Every structure is written in structure tokens, then in C-alpha cells.
Amino acid sequence: MNERIPDRELLEQARAGDHGAFRTLVQRYEPVVAATVIGMLGPGDEAEDVGQETFIGFYSALDRFREEASLKTYLTRIAINLSLNAVKRRRRFLARHVDGDSIQTNLPDPEPDPADRADSLETRERVRRAIERLPSKQRAVVTLRLIDGYSTRETAGVLGVPEGTVQSRLSRALKKLEAYLQPLVER
Amino acid sequence: MKHDDRELLETLGPVIRDAGIRRFEPGFADRVIERIRAEHAPPVIVLSAALSRQFLRLAPLAAGLILALSAYSLLGTGMSAGQSFMEATFGLEPVTLEAVYAFDPTLDPANE
């Protein structure tokens, strides 16, 4: 039923203080924000917090939001920026409190058990961990291009980098992912 | 995009896309709205804070008034013998043992 109300109308109602209208927008765009944030940070409390902050930031900027940009792209931009900040915070925390060796030992064995193929949850977890091993800039490109489904141009727009940079980051990321996920894919 | 990259994209793309999680825990929208309500709620005026603000506003005025009245008392009537500075400032009669035990004629029923 909510799907019939255009975003523009919901935005107007939300600007007028209607929390119900804003809730509908949150429900509508939760998949977009979740895919971006969980793609960047993995599932858990940190992703939930960043997801909430994305929408709270958007709520605070409702009056400034110009509708020339699509809402999906706008929210993705907030989500990816907040996620990149969270990755930096996490890296600083790990650098301060955990030594490098223990970070490595926490990562999964890149050679999976053959039984993993049949288990989609295991596969999902393995893919997620493989993405998590990528440097944050490559992870952002993989999340936007492959999980969110943005084109190279749109990804470049969201990240504010040239298309060539997106392509080169994606290329490097794919090579690493191929090594991590080799046993999962049939070529 | 190079041929190798395209091939990799075709192979890995679906695996990665399918691994994407597109939902937070149930009730996400409610939690967002709850935080927005909390963060954008009008500030609660605490009585003590309001009193403190009013006191700070009125205190200099009251102090000025006290000084002016004290000066008026001192300059107008001056200090009489046996009267302390505070008594003169507030225009009070000097308190003596005699004055305490003296009969107040206004309390005499015959004077009514």
C-alpha cells in the first residue's frame, strides 16, 4: 500500500513532521542501506548503528535534500561515507588493541571444506569475510558495484572518484576475491 | 574493462550479489524513529534550571535595590547613639533591655 505513495509526497509529509511518512521511507530504503552497510562492515551491532545513523543524518538534512539526486543514491552516499568512517575507526581500534598476527589468525582459511558448497549460509559468510579482507576503498567499490548493483558511472558518482579509478579498484578486488573464493566458483 | 576482468565479474558477481544481506534485524524502522524522536524532542525545561536562570536575571537588580535602600536609610536618618551600622542601614530601632521590657501603649485596650 505504501509503495503507491511517491517518495516526493512522503518527503513533503516527513518535512512537515510526519514520522509515519518517514518510517515508510526507512522501510522502503532499508534494503539499499542494509546492503551497503552490511557489505562494508558485516552484520552486527556496528552495521545496525551505521544504518540508523544514515537515516538520522538524512532526517536532519531533509530540508537540504534536493530532489535532483535520486533518494537511493543520496542514501547510499551517506551510508558508504559513514561505513568508511566506521572502517577507519575499527582499524584504529585494532591497531591500538590487537596485534597484527591475531588479526590474521581470525580470518578464515581460504581453502574451504567441499561441504561448504551446499551450505548457502556458509557460502554467504565466506563471501562476506573475503570482502572484509579487501582494503576499504576496494570493498566500497565491490559493495556498490556487485551488491548494490550500481553501474561504474553511478559508483564513481557516489564515491566522488573517476570511473577509471572504480574500474581499477574493481579489477584488483576481483583478483583478490578470486583467490579467496576460488573453491566456491566454477569457472 | 579487460576480458579477464569481465570474465571474473561474470563468475564472481552472482556469488557476491547473492551473499549480500539486505535487511537489518526486524523492527529497524521503529528503532530509527525512536532515536529520531529522542534526538529531536524539544528540550525538557527542568524547574531547578528555570529557577536558576531567573535568579541570575533578578539577582543584580535585587542587589542594586538593597544598596539603594540602605543608602537612603543611612543618608536620610543617619546613625543615632547606640545604633549599630546594620540597624542604621535597615532603619531598625536599637534593641536594648529597656526597650524589650517597655510596655507598648498600642497594646493597651484602654487606648482603643
Same domain, A78 and A129: no
Could you report the per-residue pLDDT of B11-68, keeping only the tens digit for each?
A: 888 888 888 888 999 999 999 999 999 887 776 777 888 888 889 999 999 999 988 8
Q: Are residues A2 and A88 in the same domain?
A: yes
Confidence at residue A109, expressed as pLDDT on a 0 to 100 scale: 45
- For residues A3 and B102, the model is more confident at B102
Contacts of B40 in chain A (CB under 8 A): 59
Total structural domains in chain A?
2
Contacts of B19 in chain A (CB under 8 A): 123-124, 127-128, 147
Residues A145, A123: one domain? Answer: yes
- Shortest CA gap A84–chain B (Å): 18
- Chain B residues lying within 8 Å of A48, measured CB to CB: 24-25, 28, 31
Of the residues A68, A99, A130, the one at which a domain ends: A99
CATH of the domain at A80: 1.10.1740.10
Which pLDDT value is given to residue A104? 43
Whole-structure pTM value: 0.67
CB contact, 8 Å: B57 with chain A?
no
DSSP A116-155: GGG-HHHHHHHHHHHHHTS-HHHHHHHIIIIIS---HHHH
SS3 A98: coil
pLDDT value at residue A119:
62
Do A64 and A148 fall within a single domain? no
What does the pLDDT look like over B88-99, one tens digit per residue?
Answer: 777 777 777 777
User: Are A119 and A70 contained in the same domain?
Assistant: no
pLDDT in tens, A22-50: 999 999 999 999 999 999 998 899 999 99
Tell me: do A43 and A88 sit in the same domain. yes
Helix axes A163-181, A120-132, angle to 10 degrees: 130
CA-based nearest residue in chain B for residue A52: B32
* The pLDDT of residue B76 is above 80: no
Looking at the fold, whether A74 and A114 belong to one and the same domain comes out as: no
A49-100 pLDDT, tens digit per residue, is: 999 999 999 999 998 888 777 899 999 999 999 999 999 998 888 777 766 5
Give me the interface pTM, i.e. the ipTM: 0.78
For residues A73 and A157, the answer to whether their CB atoms sit within 8 Å is yes
Domain shared by A127 and A75, yes or no: no
Closest CA to A186 of B101, B15, B33, B99: B15
Same domain for A15 and A47?
yes
Q: Do B21 and A34 touch (CB under 8 A)?
A: yes
Kindly report, residue by residue over A155-183, the tens digit of the pLDDT: 999 999 999 999 999 999 999 999 888 87
CATH number at residue A130: 1.10.10.10
Tally A–B CB contacts below 8 A.
Answer: 106
- Numbered residues of chain A with Cβ closer than 8 Å to any chain B Cβ: 19, 22-23, 26-27, 30-31, 34-35, 38-39, 43, 47-48, 51-52, 55-56, 59, 120, 123-124, 127-128, 131, 142, 146-149, 167, 170-171, 174-175, 177-178, 181, 184-185, 187
For residue A150, pLDDT beyond 60: yes
What residue ranges in A16-123 does DSSP mark as E strands? none
- Helix runs in chain B, H state only: 3-19, 28-39, 47-77, 85-89, 97-101
Q: What domain range includes position A129?
A: 107-187
| Residue A14 and residue A88 in one domain | yes
Domain boundaries, chain B: 44-112
Closest alpha carbon to A179 in B17, B11, B3, B14:
B11
Chain B residues close to A146, C-beta within 8 Å: 9, 12-13, 16-17
